[in-house]
Amino acid sequence: MHDEIRRLAREKNAIILAHNYQRYEVQLAADLVGDSLGLSAKAAETDARMIVFAGVHFMAESAKILSPGKKVVMPRSDAGCPLADTITVEKLRALQAEHPGAPTVCYINSAAAIKAEVDVCCTSANMDKVVASLPERKVLFVPDGNMGRYLQKLLPEKEIITWKGVCPTHHRLRAEQVLEVKRQHPAAKFIAHPECRLEVIELADAVRSTTGFLRYAKESEATEFIVGTETGLIPRLEAENPGKRFYPASEAMVCPNMKMTNLEDVLAVLENEDNEILVPDDIRVRAVGSLERMLKIT
């Protein structure tokens, strides 16, 4: 099936992107594997006619925002993100009305319509830099409440108003589970994702984005790691670090939305070119502005 997918991708001048949390067999069929913004930015640089995005909906929207002239399709159009879905434009506007004058920062895991309404976007790798760069003391941060609480800890001089969203996959991990895995592997370094609960983050040797996990594991002299993020990252960590061992902080850290896409879906979307992602131009232009402001800061 990999051969057939690669043949069709060549024939249709398509580039296949897979997020780090996708099934490993889907990652192996992709041209690029990475985090959502990195993938979208790299795809924009290629001369591919079509982008096949194996991930969740807001990620494919990011690809469309950055590559308006390319056709963007998803193997599974029903793969959404429960974190991104916690906030709507109406709810965001109501929050902004409660705090006039406070700028809004949104985590990249948001719909294009939300990105269009905020002052600036951020990623899990640059959120503190972005928020610290704002002159205002009070800052609205959406949609991830855990990330907002971590930011408040990193930047005590700021007043971070958080939204109530969480990523169910990361929020599921509890401090007791981490302590138990640490007890089983006392030499292992624990890496947490900022979408985890603050009580979990406080147990971490390092707090990193998915790309940061890969870099930390490669550069660290440690040989064992406890992985506090979606388990889909583990096969890649293992492949890139032969001789090092990776233990999930919890086997339950599996995002069902990320696991919806299988190889049959990738093949089908290449054949049919359906499930196209479209972003209205007025939203796209404003959302690009929020992304560009982030890039300028970082």
**What are the residues binding ligand SF4 (CB under 6 A)?**
21, 56, 81-83, 109, 167-169, 230, 255, 257-258
CB of 85 to ligand SF4, least distance (A): 9
CB nearer to ligand SF4: pick between 107 and 225: 107
- Quote the least distance from Cβ 161 to ligand SF4, whole Å: 20
Amino acid at 155: L
Backbone angles phi and psi of 128, in degrees to 5: -70, -40
The β-bridge relationship of strands 138-142 and 159-162 is: parallel
Q: Give the SS3 label for residue 118.
A: coil
Nearest distance, CB of residue 241 and ligand SF4, angstroms: 22
| Comparison of 108 and 160: residue with beta carbon closer to ligand SF4 | 108
**Residue 199: φ, ψ to 5°:** -65, -30
Q: How many residues does the chain have?
A: 298
Tokens 């169910």 belong to 168
Return the number of the residue (56 or 267) whose C-beta is nearest ligand SF4. Answer: 56
Sign of CA pseudo-dihedral 205, 206, 207, 211:
negative
| Closer Cβ to ligand SF4, 177 or 210, answer by number | 210
Residue 232 CB, shortest distance to ligand SF4, in Å, is: 9
Nearer to ligand SF4, 147 or 270 (CB): 147
CB of 243 to ligand SF4, least distance (A): 28
- Name every residue whose Cβ is closer than 8 Å to that of residue 246 and which is 6 or more positions away in sequence: 217, 224, 225, 226, 227, 234, 237, 238
CB 194 within 8 A of CB 218: no
